[in-house]
Structure 1
């Protein structure tokens, strides 16, 4: 993978990580379309640049994350992330295998799009209008909803937002709690991919980063780009859902899923 390809993937990560459109599906399509070889470093890179996206949420909502007087906020995040940590570890190998099933991913993209088109109408009477009012039970339930994103193409953001609205959160509160929940979830995945996970070569993530100076350079550049693009994407997303709800993202997912079906069905 060269510098231009790394920048491209970082932009895709930043744009799609917090939108309910499946960053995995977009990464797979871009990698295939531009002929990016899927070696161990590319697999690590696609996961590890989430670190930049994590920092974007912390930077935008720094008052929330650094207000240590409100321990209930941290408690809800810790409890909500536990289901994903446990199930993610148990199904890590199975998830890696499904990542190659591009047709399946495209179908999940379309199915999720249909759900998003009707979600505003179905959950139209929210009762939780502030993050402070989210209960521990609601947070844990949203954490289990987030686990649906282990099916590639579902979208972690979409799963947790749908879970939030099912629990009575307003669409803005559901979206923002999804952002907050992404921080410990993605941080755990990133640390695991770098410090613990063994790749096909038998090397651990940090060994892959350190074996070549170019790898570390691309890793750092990718995270910086993902950070700034994520900030723009989050602000844009909040503005859209305030004005139009989730319908635009539902239509986008259906169109994107259809394009992926055509591309991988006829050209691969």
Structure 2
């Protein structure tokens, strides 16, 4: 990966990580369009630069992370399902990361969910306090996002709204739950890379790429979060649903007519 490719992928990550449109799916599509080979480092890079996005949540919501221990217990409860399934099915998930058909299909299916989610869960409790049970159920929804193209943000927001959270509360808890989930995923990918015979050298050779990627993702994610909270509170999720459907169908039609996404 050269510097321009690194910046483009990091911008895609920052823009899409907290929107319900799948950051992983968009990065896979962007990598294909840019002609980036799916090496072990590239797979690790798409996960590790999520750390920059994590920092944007900590900076924007730092006061919320100095609440009671109850806040952290709920995040831990929500994190556990994805942690267990992630360890059990890591290799299967890695294999799916190379399948653009999976990404395109799940973009469409998730888009359909986004079109109707406001109608399905249209009676939120504005004063609702998130319980341990709510946190666990939202964490179970998060597991669906292990399929590339689903979107961690979408699955957790839908999970939150199913528990009678408002759009804003569901979105914010999705952001908070991203911190332990993405931190664990980043740490696991780094460890897995370092355990390879030449892993330390690969990491050293690409350190500047990782630094640039995380910095760009951090700045862009901060802007994306501010936009998303304001927009979704006012207008809901239909725009994101239509976007997913159009993009997913466009990719499927393009591929099924014999074209290749490697255009550069």
* Short-chain TM bin: over 0.9
- Describe how 1:1-268 pairs up with structure 2 within 5 A: 1-67=1-67, 70-127=68-125, 129=127, 133-197=129-193, 202-204=197-199, 206-210=200-204, 212=205, 215-265=206-256, 266-268=258-260
Contact 1:126 1:169 in 2 (8 A): yes
Count of residues paired in the alignment: 259
Contact 1:129 1:170 in 2 (8 A): no
> Could you tell me how far apart the structure 2 residues matched to 1:195 and 1:167 are?
35
Contact 2:75 2:180 in 1 (8 A): yes
When the two chains are superposed, the root-mean-square deviation of aligned CA atoms in Å is 1.5
- Give structure 1 stretches of 5+ with no counterpart: none
SS of the aligned residue for 2:37 comes to: coil
> Could you tell me how far apart the structure 1 residues matched to 2:44 and 2:254 are?
25
- Give structure 2 stretches of 5+ with no counterpart: none
Q: TM-score, normalised by structure 2?
A: 0.94
SS of the aligned residue for 2:35 comes to: coil
1:65 deviates by 1.2
> Could you tell me how far apart the structure 1 residues matched to 2:101 and 2:74 are?
36
> Could you tell me how far apart the structure 2 residues matched to 1:41 and 1:97 are?
14
> Could you tell me how far apart the structure 1 residues matched to 2:194 and 2:89 are?
15
Contact 2:16 2:23 in 1 (8 A): yes
